[in-house]
Chains A and B, each alone.
Chain A
Amino acid sequence: MSAPAAQAVKIRIRGLKKAFGRKVVLDGIDLDVGVGESLVVIGGSGTGKSVLIKCVLGILQPDSGSVQVDGEEVVEIDADGRERINDKFGMLFQGSALFDSLPVWENVAFGLLARKKVTRAQGREIALAKLAQVGLGPEVGQLSPSELSGGMQKRVALARAIAADPEIIFFDEPTTGLDPIMADVINDLIVKITREVGATALSITHDMASSRKIAHRIAMLYNGRIIWNGPPAAIDNSGNPFVDQFVHGRAEGPIKMAVRA
């Protein structure tokens, strides 16, 4: 995918730090995501990719640093401001995180109903339209999430993430746990939908095939810092031994995996 021409900054992250006890997870992250851009952050398991997203979403409170959305500082923002900022966000969770007490359509329409912008009947109509957008028929709307396969749950979660037409969509390991074909289907959907919605996308993954497909730009997270970033085409000749090792999935190299925790 080629990057869009306009490069106004949608999310600006500066010096973001987060530690759990003595374990430093994020050690000064600097990252910009442009308007309409799809940025993928890659990195090994346990390198703090999820923590990064959760700090931006306000689910975790960073120790220091700044996160700006549309030029507005959101780290120390109050509850009302956070709610207003989160209205711009859509999030696809790794395990889909569908509410299993509600039928599929109510899951998709949840954010709309919560904001009281629509009646239940309207919410249902929108939900079915969003389900169609991710390739699911209206009969799925009545089912309970537990009746769906993993791939279908991912699609429903994607429909839920885009239901309120967010300006920014976060994807947390969108292809983890799916077979390669279904993973590619989800990748295609992500590309198609972010383009249709015109949204900015920030994804985290360790799936190289997925990141090549959905990214305008890839950034690699290692040891709590962004050590490389550039277009997907450049990643094979990054000249960075850490990136090289990760891209080719080699056990030997500068990155030492902690085999024992």
Chain B
Amino acid sequence: MNFLQPIGHVVLDFFATTGRLTLFAIDGVTHCFRPPFYGRMIVRQMVEIGYFSLPVVGLTAIFTGMVLALQSYTGFARFSAEAAIANVVVVAVTRELGPVLAGLMVAGRVGAAMAAEIGTMRVTEQIDALTTLSTNPMKYLVAPRLIAGVAMLPILVLIADIIGVLGGFLVASYKLGFNPTNYLQSTWNFMEVEDVVSGLVKAAVFGFIVTLMGCYHGYTSRGGAQGVGAATTNAVVTASILILCFDYILTEMFFAGK
């Protein structure tokens, strides 16, 4: 029965990691609500996550919107349903592509950087140093990042929504020959508050996932440069997978039965 051993190992490992991660998350979230608060750190992380992610998220959004318009045109033209393009673009961007793509881009940019920074602090004993200097590392390093992630991702996604719809508008009116006024009018008509809000809620969840994964893998990294490298990879991979999982779960919660 030796072949069962590795399977058991993987299963046990999975549950152990899930448990550790849950405890870490609870600890981190509790510190978000208990003073002292490190305002300086929160602002710094907000700038890092929100402001410096704008270019990459904006570029992703504009090209996604442009491609959506182009793709749906070639598809819908066969059924003479070109008029639905504005609808497709606005629904797809606000509900799905805005939050998911922004989440994935931020996971790559911010999650990796967090894991690398906190991981390096771990292996160079800087986290131990925080403890000896009367500072709780969970409160000083993890809580500000979680707060900044949950606060900034929705704002990023709101901007991504606008830029994405703009991308679709540009392609539709300058390349596909739509009347700009009509296109904007139908975009406005088709846009539902619920679509946008569900996208923003998703964004907040993704912001939590990305920052939690970055912090957790950095915080628990071991063994020098190689350990930090592994932590960085794990942070991005687990965050990306969890974003896609939770995207489905949240979509089901919002729109199932409609």
Contacts and interface: CB of A to CB of B under 8 A. Distances in A.
B133 A111 contact: yes
A41 B124 CA distance: 22
Contacts of B121: 99
A107 B135 CA distance: 13
Contacts of A95: 124-125
Interface string A243-261: 0000000000000000000
Contacts of B132: 57, 59, 86, 89-91, 111
Contacts of A228: none
B16 to A, nearest CB: 15
B131 interface: yes
Interface residues of B, number: 15
A110 B128 contact: no
B27 to A, nearest CB: 11
Contacts of B133: 110-111, 114, 160
B74 interface: no
B226 interface: no
A97 B124 contact: yes
Interface in A74-122: 79, 83, 86-87, 89-91, 93-95, 97-101, 110-111, 114-116
Interface string B204-247: 00000000000000000000000000000000000000000000
B12 to A, nearest CB: 16
Q: How large is the interface on A (under 10, 10 to 19, 20 to 34, 35 or more residues)?
A: 20 to 34
A97 B128 contact: yes
A39 B31 CA distance: 37
A69 B89 CA distance: 67
A83 B124 contact: no
A176 to B, nearest CB: 13
Nearest to B121: A99
A259 B135 CA distance: 39
Contacts of B36: 116
A197 B16 CA distance: 46
A86 B129 CA distance: 11
B135 A110 contact: yes
A83 B128 contact: no
A83 B136 CA distance: 9
Contacts of B134: 83, 86-87, 111, 114-115
Given A59-B131, A110-B135, A111-B133, A99 B125 contact: no
Contacts of B117: 101
A138 interface: no
A86 B126 contact: no
B194 to A, nearest CB: 41
Contacts of A116: 36
A54 interface: yes
Interface string B115-141: 001000100111011011111100010
B135 A93 contact: no
Interface of A: 54, 57-59, 79, 83, 86-87, 89-91, 93-95, 97-101, 110-111, 114-116, 160
9 A-B pairs with the lowest CB-CB distances in the bound complex, closest first: A111-B133, A97-B125, A97-B129, A91-B132, A114-B135, A93-B125, A97-B126, A59-B128, A114-B134
20 contacts: A58-B131, A59-B128, A59-B131, A83-B134, A83-B136, A86-B131, A86-B134, A87-B134, A91-B132, A93-B125, A93-B129, A94-B125, A97-B124, A97-B128, A98-B126, A98-B129, A99-B121, A101-B117, A111-B132, A114-B134
